[in-house]
Amino acid sequence: MSQPIDLAPVNELDHTTFVLTFGSVFEHFPQAAHGAWAERPFASAAALHDAMMGVIRKLDAHGQRDFLNLHPLLSGANIRAGTMTSDSNEEQKSAGLDAMTARQEAMLERLNTAYLARHGFPFIICVRHYTREGIFTALERRIERSTQQEQDEALAQIAAITRGRLDVRLNAFRQVSTSSVGR
């Protein structure tokens, strides 16, 4: 287990630097960092993440739907085309979505299309918690759920995705802060 991160330097960041440092944690939504900044000081990484998720949870239903639609489809073609954020690209690769057969790609495209048509936003899952086969199974199962269940599930999955991303950024920030103190 990693050691707790001292958030004092994070809490001291000015607004612009804070948003530049943490604005990409949420897919194309730096507003999460923007809104969370006002909640400083953060006692822990969990508190920082909770503040960022709080920005999302405070959006009205339309705003949450718009936010969900900022997320990319799961797709080998998107990985190859380089059309996603580097985080999404690496996460989807980690689940083997860049190494699917033509049949698997066609199936994923068909399932994505059905999900999007039914719910109005892309299927969102924390791919690092699943195998490729597990992703397909979850997608097939979740298509038939209610849209409200799926919106709630998508937000829960985003919480898992972004917590991992935040931890990476906090560790990088700690390394930079530690190395600049020693100069």
**Residues with catalytic annotation?**
71
What is the radius of gyration, based on Cα positions, of the chain? 18
Backbone angles phi and psi of 77, in degrees to 5:
-65, -40
User: What is the C-alpha separation between 10 and 22, in angstroms, rounded?
Assistant: 10
Strand runs labelled E in the chain:
none
Tell me the one-letter amino acid at 95: A
Cβ atoms of residues 130 and 138 within 8 Å: yes
Half-sphere exposure for 81 (CA within 13 Å, toward CB): 9
Burial class (CB in 10 A: 0-12, 13-18, 19+), 46: exposed
* 18 three-class SS: helix
User: What is the C-alpha separation between 183 and 110, in angstroms, rounded?
Assistant: 55
Nearest Cα neighbor of 155 from 26, 28, 24, 41 is 26
